[in-house]
Amino acid sequence: MLENEFEYYRDHQIKLFEKYGRKYIVIVGQEVIGYYDSEIEAYIETKKTHSVGTFLIQLCSDDPDEGVRIFHFRVFPLSSLAEPDIDETNYIYGSSS
C-alpha cells in the first residue's frame, strides 16, 4: 500500500525538495496534490477530498537518509492528535535504510 507513491518520492526527491523545500507534501499516484507546513494540516486538508489510506504524506527533504514515517489506516502521531477518533496505535516509525 502506497509503495508507488513512496517510490515516486524517492525517485524525484531532489527535484521535489528544490520545488517545495521542507514542506509536507501529499502524493497520490505519481502526483503531488498539495504541500503544507505541518503533517496535521496536510492530513486534515487531504482527507476532505481523498480517503484515508489512499495518499502519502511525506516531509520533503534533500537527505536520502532522513527517517521515513509510514502511516496505516486512521492514525496520527501522538504529539499531533487533533481529532479524538484517530487511532494512534498503528503509527509506525521506520527508516529509509
pLDDT tens by residue, the chain, 97 residues: 788 999 999 999 999 999 999 999 999 999 999 999 999 999 999 999 999 989 999 999 998 877 555 555 555 555 555 554 444 444 444 434 3
Residue 32's pLDDT is: 97
φ, ψ of residue 8 to 5 degrees: the values are -60, -45
Nearest 5°: the CA angle 3, 4, 7 is: 85
pLDDT confidence of residue 90? 43
* Entry pTM: 0.69
Grid cell for residue 13? 526527491
DSSP the chain: --HHHHHHHHHTHHHHHHHH-S-EEEEETTEEEEEESSHHHHHHHHTTTS-TTS-EEEE--S-TTS-EEE--SS---GGG--STT--GGG-EEE---
